[in-house]
Amino acid sequence: MCHRSGKPSAMDLPPSCKAAADRMEQALRQEDLDSYRTARLTESAVDSLSDAEQRLSRELGRDIVLVAYESK
């Protein structure tokens, strides 16, 4: 069941505003890509990340994948 609050959402915007919001979202994503790279992890850190993935997957009943990034 979907509960909708009285607040407007991006989906309710006129097409021109939605397009501007989409462009801003893309610009922010590109900024993130420019600021971070895939983290270089030790084998121990990879094992810890894998353990966390498995624990979350069991807890949530879904296939969970965790990704590590670090500042460039």
pLDDT per position as a tens digit, 28-70: 788 877 888 888 999 999 999 999 999 999 999 998 888 888 8
DSSP three-state, residue 41: coil
End-to-end distance of the chain based on CA atoms, in angstroms? 42
At 56 the pLDDT is 94
DSSP three-state, residue 50: helix
Is the pLDDT at 18 greater than 70? The verdict is yes
Between 9-13, 24-28, 58-62, the lowest mean confidence (pLDDT) is in 9-13
Is the pLDDT at 22 greater than 90? The verdict is no
The H-or-E segment that residue 65 falls in is none
Global pTM value? 0.53
